[in-house]
Amino acid sequence: MRTASNRSLARLAPWLLPGLVLLVPLLALARGGGGEHYSSPSSDDDGGGGGIPFWLLLEFFELLVRLTIRYPQVMLPLIGICVAGWFFYRRNVHPTGATKRAFQQREAEQRTTVSSRDVQGWVNALRLKDPQFELQALLDKTRKLFLELQDAWFKRDMSPVRPFLSDATYQRFDVQLQLMAAQGVRDAITDIQVLDVQLIGLDQSQWFDTVHLRVRARMRDADVAASASEAEAITAAKRAPLEAFTEVWSFVRKPGVQTRVGEDLFQGKCPNCGAPYKGGAANRCEYCGAIVNSGNYDWTLSEITQGIEHVRHHAQVDHLLEAREADPALNLEILEDRTSLLFWKWIDAQSRGTTQALHKVASADAIGRLDEELGSLSRQGRRKVFLECAVGGVITRSFEVDPQGFDKAHVEVRWSARMGMGPLDERPPSLPTVPQRWVFTLLRKHGARTNTDNGMSTNRCPQCNAPLTDSAAITCDYCGTSLGSGERDWVLASADPFESWDAREQRRFAGATARRTAKRRQPIEVPGLVQGPVDDVIADPQERQRLLYMMAALASADGTVDSAERKLLELCARRWSVPWSNVEMALNTGPQLFTRLVQRGTPEAEVFLRNLVEMALVDGRIDRKERRMLEFAAGHLGLVDKLPGMLGG
């Protein structure tokens, strides 16, 4: 005689094994609101049918209870394994903030891990020119500087560490502090620990040696009111979780400089002459006149990169050799530091609503365009807001050489910020952190020479070497030399979103498309990352986010986003591991999420769509869902007729 449980078992036998495998997802669905984001085949429209019938689920659970009571030794471990497996799955597909940080830490470790043989090779290369060089001494100094820099940041006064920083690095911290002050907040940090400092790279050129050091640390970090005292800030930070992070600190030094044991800035001495160094805004030794943060006499901190964004090698730069024919000392280290300096002045100008700080380092045309834009916003009673602004990388793209006029340098800046526009007297609403990709075009008179005496001190008059002030004058406040024209040094000519710049470059190189396309496909070496085209770095999670947020902004530009569009955006978010809550915020914010949104049917829109296609092709194929996403994007971009050609069909 067959019992009820035996009859249930017979009916459920074909479903039992799959059912046990699906046990944990079903348990999640049983929790109120707990399973609405579970990604199953049926929810992704992969096939017909509505999944397992509801009556079957009930009988499955009834059988599960009976089997557990009858065979606890077998069922309880099995249920435990399924629950653990589902927990791990959920944390990978829909990770919490802590899990995401753990994943980022793991990727940062992969990107910054090198072999001991490589390290020894780099040390030997440095000792060939500097026999006194000791790696451990450099690591110890970096550890000390890290702690001193955190202390200066917490106290909102970077002057104690200014001699160790390039002008652009100092400008970065100074502008960030000003942005936070304007927002009425300060950063509270405590329990700072340096876990490890390691050499992970060496770049050598005719002009600079650059060492890349991985700094692994942890601290407690919280935002508090700007009016909070140091004691109140520390108390607030104590309540924050202790979080670990990885950064890459890049130091530059002129080749052939000899280590002066016991005679450097850490001992309060000039690294050139050994005389007592008292500091000061000019960063110049009062005895020998040496500019101590130039990199000409000791290691100078030129860049801080998050470990997850560290890239070991970059592409070749178009027309660099031609540009060096007129300026043999032209080097990317100084140029990119200058660009970083201009970037932070550009951010500061927009945040303050005045271009005064750009008058000495930007062309009249660039200032005029920005003045017009800021003036229009001011008349509307609005302002631009940049929260948590940070630079991910500065990479020189190409040069334009004009023997009859001005040369141009195109330098890409990858950055991110919680950016928006709001009333002049109000704090803006909460915004997602949006990755940005801009190209800064600098110009300089053909034949002008790089002043290597200033090195990484790039915020100086090219005539008298005095530090540039932020006064409204377009001449040096000390010697009267005309600045901003590009006659003697690189100045900002324009700043454009990547799509705008790339579309303009394609028109300019219309006769050399094949050559540019070939260069776009050169591989880059990124530890732990799938190799991809240099130009788009489509495996870069920051670039995935940027493209997806722009898709969301485009979808909401017409004022309505239907359910089909939302479903496609959710699919993109899952495919590209971008939190849906951030995409939803981008939808609600709309076009103002970006300073400039690509316009329908334009060359810029074609560049954007091509980037989406290349991202979809990262695994070598485009499936049905990816094609639907691309068709959705092409529709909003007004490029439906262009998509088949981009797909090769």
Question: What does the pLDDT read at residue 88?
Answer: 59
C-alpha 367/C-alpha 373 separation (Å) is: 10
**Summary mean pLDDT of the chain:** 79
Identity of the highest mean pLDDT range in 12-16, 61-65, 110-114, 407-411? 407-411
pLDDT over threshold 80, residue 201: yes
Helix (H) or strand (E) holding 516: helix 513-520
In terms of C-beta density within 10 A (0-12 exposed, 13-18 middle, 19 or more buried), how is residue 25 classed? middle
Planar angle of CA 530, 535, 541, nearest 5 degrees: 50
Q: Decide: 534 and 524 in contact? Cβ < 8 Å.
A: yes
pLDDT over threshold 60, residue 216: yes
CATH code 3.90.245.10 for 97-310:
no
pLDDT over threshold 60, residue 608: yes
pLDDT over threshold 50, residue 254: yes
pLDDT over threshold 80, residue 33: no
Question: What does the pLDDT read at residue 313?
Answer: 61
Mean pLDDT, rounded, for 265-269? 91
C-alpha 219/C-alpha 244 separation (Å) is: 7
Which of the pair, 453 or 411, is modelled with greater confidence? 411
Q: Where are the strands (E) in 403-524, listed by range?
A: 406-423, 434-445, 491-497
CA atoms within 13 A of residue 161's CA, in its CB half-sphere: 27
pLDDT over threshold 80, residue 453: yes
pTM listed for this prediction: 0.75
Question: What does the pLDDT read at residue 102?
Answer: 61
Confidence category of residue 103, pLDDT binned at 50, 70, 90: low
Q: Which of 4, 196, 45 shows the shortest CA–CA distance to 112?
A: 196
Mean pLDDT, rounded, for 363-383? 88
Kindly provide the b/e burial profile for residues 208-234, where b requires at least 16 CB atoms within 10 angstroms of the residue's own CB.
Answer: bbbbbbbbbbebbbbbbeeebeeeebb
Question: What does the pLDDT read at residue 56?
Answer: 54
- How many other β-carbons are positioned within 10 Å of the β-carbon of residue 378? 13
Question: What does the pLDDT read at residue 108?
Answer: 65
CATH code 3.10.450 for 313-508:
yes
Q: Angle at which helices 54-70 and 4-21 pack, to 10 degrees?
A: 100
Same fold, 97-310 and 313-508: yes
Q: Decide: 631 and 612 in contact? Cβ < 8 Å.
A: no
Question: What does the pLDDT read at residue 597?
Answer: 78
Question: What does the pLDDT read at residue 647?
Answer: 81
Percent of the chain past pLDDT 70, that is, above it, reads: 78
Size of the chain, expressed as the number of residues it contains: 649
Question: What ranges do the domains of the chain cover?
Answer: 7-26+51-93, 97-310, 313-508, 538-646
Helix (H, G, I), strand (E, B) or coil at 190: strand
Question: What does the pLDDT read at residue 537?
Answer: 38
Mean pLDDT, rounded, for 36-58? 39
Which of the pair, 96 or 498, is modelled with greater confidence? 498
The 3 state secondary structure assigned to 597-616 is: CCCCCCHHHHHHHHHHHHHH
pLDDT over threshold 70, residue 27: no
Q: Angle at which helices 23-30 and 4-21 pack, to 10 degrees?
A: 100
pLDDT over threshold 50, residue 94: no
Question: What does the pLDDT read at residue 408?
Answer: 96
pLDDT over threshold 70, residue 422: no
Mean pLDDT, rounded, for 288-301? 93
Q: Is 532 left (phi over 0), alpha (psi -120 to 50) or beta?
A: beta
C-alpha 345/C-alpha 358 separation (Å) is: 6
Q: Decide: 290 and 273 in contact? Cβ < 8 Å.
A: yes
Mean pLDDT, rounded, for 199-215? 92
Question: What does the pLDDT read at residue 300?
Answer: 95
Question: What does the pLDDT read at residue 139?
Answer: 96
Question: What does the pLDDT read at residue 649?
Answer: 57
C-alpha 287/C-alpha 268 separation (Å) is: 14
C-alpha 233/C-alpha 240 separation (Å) is: 11
Listed range (29-33, 71-75, 348-352) with the worst mean pLDDT: 29-33
Confidence category of residue 45, pLDDT binned at 50, 70, 90: very low
C-alpha 503/C-alpha 390 separation (Å) is: 26
Q: Is 153 left (phi over 0), alpha (psi -120 to 50) or beta?
A: alpha
Helix (H, G, I), strand (E, B) or coil at 308: helix
Question: What does the pLDDT read at residue 191?
Answer: 95
Helix (H, G, I), strand (E, B) or coil at 52: coil
Q: Which of 161, 168, 134 shows the shortest CA–CA distance to 147?
A: 161
Looking up tokens 């497996």 gives 85
Question: What does the pLDDT read at residue 490?
Answer: 96
Identity of the highest mean pLDDT range in 16-20, 411-415, 520-524? 411-415
Question: What does the pLDDT read at residue 341?
Answer: 93
pLDDT over threshold 70, residue 31: no
Q: Decide: 268 and 164 in contact? Cβ < 8 Å.
A: no
Question: What does the pLDDT read at residue 98?
Answer: 53
Q: What is the pLDDT of residues 119-164, one digit of tens each?
A: 999 999 999 999 999 999 999 999 999 999 999 999 999 999 999 9
Q: What is the pLDDT of residues 506-530, one digit of tens each?
A: 877 664 443 343 333 333 333 332 2
623 CB-near residues (< 8 Å, 6+ apart):
none
Mean pLDDT, rounded, for 37-54? 36
Sheet holding 209-225, edge to edge: 185-204, 209-225, 242-253, 300-306
Question: What does the pLDDT read at residue 455?
Answer: 87
The 3 state secondary structure assigned to 219-251 is: EEEEEEECCCCHHHHHHHHHCCCEEEEEEEEEE
Please name every residue paired with 221 in a beta bridge, in sequence order, or none if there are none: 189
Query: Among positive and negative, which fits the CA dihedral 235, 237, 238, 240?
Result: positive
Confidence category of residue 620, pLDDT binned at 50, 70, 90: low
Which of the pair, 194 or 41, is modelled with greater confidence? 194
**Integer CA distances (angstroms), 559 to 30, 554, 589, in order:** 36, 10, 11
